C-alpha cells in the first residue's frame, strides 16, 4: 500500500528499534499510520521514531520490556494517551537461541518463552478491550517458520513460536465478530541483527567463515536466500489494512523461495 491508506490509525510495534520491527514501523508510517515503537533499548527506538518524523510521519518511542506486565501496561497507557487510541498492534519483539536439549538451561528456556510468547499475550491483552470497544483492531504476531515446523537445536524457540501461533489461532476464534483480527506472519531466516547473531554463533562453534556459516544455515533451512526485512513488513502491513477485516487466524508463510 502507498499513501494514506492507514491515515488516522495508530500502530504500536514492539521491538521496533531494528530488524523486522523497524521495517514494519516504517511501512506502517509510509501507509499513513501514526506509529509508536517500543523496545528495551531506548536509543534505537528514539532513533527510528526521529527518522520517521524527519520523513514527515507522526511517530513516538517508548521503552518497554514486553516480559514485564507493569511496563506493558504503562506502554499501552502512554501510547493511548499520546494518540488517543491504539488501532494496530504488531507483536514483533522476540529473541532466539540455539542449543541441543541437554544444554538448554531453565533460565534460557524461560527467557525464550517469556519474550516471544508471554510478551505477545501481555501486549495483546493490554490493547484488546479498547479495540473491541471501538469494534476495530488489527493484531499481527511475528511468529516464524519455527511456529509451524520443527528443527534441531531450536526447541525452546520452536516451542515459543508454536505458542504464538496457537495463541493467534485461538484469539482469532475468540475475537470473531468483534472487529478485531489476529493473524501471524511466519518467516524463515531474515536478514536482521538476530540472524547475524546466529551466523556468528555458527562461526564460533565450527570455525567456519561468515559466508560458509550463512550457506550452512540456509541449506539446513532449505532457503535459497535470506528474506529481507521489508518483505516481512509488507506482509504485516497487508494484514493491517481496512481491507483485511475478514482475514483472521491466518498464518502468512514467507520462505524466501523466489530467488532474487
Ligand atoms: P532483532 O534482534 O533484529 O530485533 C529484535 C527487536 O526486539 C529489537 O528491537 C529488540 O530491542 C526487541 N526486543 C527483544 N527483547 C525484547 C523485550 N523483552 N521487550 C521488548 N523488546 C524486545 O530481531 P528480528 O528483527 O530478526 O526479529 C523480530 C521478530 O521476528 C522476532 O519475534 C523474531 O523471533 C522473529 N523472526 C525473526 C527471524 C529472523 O530470521 N531474523 C525469522 C522468523 C521470525 P531491545 O533489545 O532493545 O529490547
Q: Which residues are 39's β-sheet partners?
A: 63
Q: Which residue has the cell 521495517?
A: 23
Residue nearest to atom 18 of ligand 1 (CA): 65
Q: How far is CA 95 from CA 134, 157, 160, 175, in A?
A: 32, 8, 10, 27
Catalytic residue IDs: 157
Q: Kindly report, residue by residue over 101-115, the tens digit of the pLDDT.
A: 999 999 999 999 999
The pLDDT score that the predictor gives to residue 225 is 95
Report the separation in Å between the CA atom of 185 and the middle of ligand 1, taken as the mean of its atom positions: 14
Ranges of residues in the chain whose predicted pLDDT is under 70: 1-4, 258-260
Q: Where in the chain is the domain with CATH 3.40.50.720?
A: 10-188+227-246
Calculate the CA 70 to chain-centre distance.
20
| CA–CA dist 111, 157 (Å, integer) | 10
**Nearest CA owner, ligand 1 atom 16:** 93
Shortest-distance Cα residue to atom 48 of ligand 1? 40
Q: Pocket of ligand 1, candidates 90, 93, 188, 228: which has the most ligand atoms within 8 Å of its Cβ, to mutate? A: 93
Whole-angstrom distance, CA of residue 62 vs CA of residue 49: 10
Q: Does domain 10-188+227-246 have CATH number 3.40.50.720?
A: yes
| pLDDT of the residue at 256 | 82
**CA–centroid distance, residue 145 to ligand 1 (Å):** 15
pLDDT at residue 36 in the model: 98
Residue with CA nearest ligand 1 atom 2: 194
> Cell numbers 518524523 label which residue?
53
Task: Say how far apart CA 205 and CA 116 lie, in whole Å.
Answer: 25
**pLDDT for the residue numbered 259:** 56
* DSSP class of 156: H
Using one digit for the tens of pLDDT, what is the confidence trace for 63-80? 999 999 999 999 999 999
In the chain, how many H helices and how many E strands?
Answer: 9, 7
Residue 44 CA: nearest ligand 1 atom is: 47
| Ligand 1 pocket list (CB less than 6 A) | 14-15, 17-21, 39-41, 44, 64-67, 92-96, 115-116, 142, 144, 187, 189-190, 192-195
> How far apart are the CA of 63 and the centre of ligand 1, in A?
14
Q: Whose CA is nearest to atom 41 of ligand 1?
A: 190
Predicted model pTM: 0.97
Mutate to test the pocket of ligand 1, among 13, 14, 15, 149 (most ligand atoms within 8 A of CB): 15
Indicate the SS3 state at residue 190. strand
Query: From CA 83, how far away is CA 36, in angstroms rounded?
Result: 9
Amino acid at each position: 500500500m502507498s499513501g494514506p491508506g492507514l491515515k488516522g490509525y495508530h500502530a504500536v510495534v514492539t521491538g521496533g528499534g531494528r530488524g523486522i520491527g523497524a521495517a514494519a514501523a516504517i511501512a506502517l508510517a509510509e501507509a499513513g499510520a501514526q506509529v509508536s515503537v517500543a523496545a528495551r533499548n531506548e536509543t534505537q527506538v528514539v532513533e527510528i521514531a526521529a527518522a520517521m518524523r524527519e520523513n514527515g510521519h507522526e511517530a513516538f518511542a517508548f521503552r518497554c520490556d514486553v516480559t514485564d506486565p507493569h511496563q506493558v501496561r504503562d506502554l499501552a497507557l502512554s501510547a493511548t494517551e499520546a494518540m488517543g487510541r491504539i488501532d494496530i498492534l504488531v507483536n514483533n519483539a522476540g529473541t532466539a537461541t540455539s542449543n541441543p536439549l541437554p544444554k538448554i538451561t531453565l533460565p534460557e528456556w524461560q527467557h525464550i518463552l517469556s519474550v516471544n510468547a508471554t510478551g505477545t499475550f501481555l501486549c495483546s491483552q493490554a490493547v484488546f478491550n479498547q479495540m473491541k470497544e471501538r469494534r476495530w483492531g488489527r493484531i499481527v504476531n511475528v511468529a516464524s517458520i519455527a511456529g509451524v515446523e520443527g528443527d534441531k537445536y531450536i526447541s525452546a524457540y520452536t516451542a515459543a513460536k508454536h505458542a504464538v501461533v496457537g495463541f493467534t489461532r485461538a484469539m482469532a476464534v475468540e475475537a470473531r465478530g468483534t472487529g478485531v483480527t489476529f493473524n501471524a506472519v511466519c518467516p524463515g531466516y531474515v536478514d536482521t541483527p538476530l540472524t547475524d547473531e546466529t551466523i556468528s554463533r555458527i562461526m564460533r562453534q565450527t570455525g567456519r567463515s561468515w559466508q560458509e556459516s550463512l550457506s550452512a544455515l540456509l541449506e539446513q533451512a532449505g532457503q535459497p536466500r535470506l528474506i529481507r526485512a521489508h518483505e516481512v513488513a509488507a506482509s504485516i502491513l497487508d494484514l493491517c489494512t481496512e481491507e483485511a477485516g475478514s482475514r483472521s487466524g491466518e498464518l502468512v508463510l514467507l520462505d524466501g523461495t523466489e530467488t532474487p
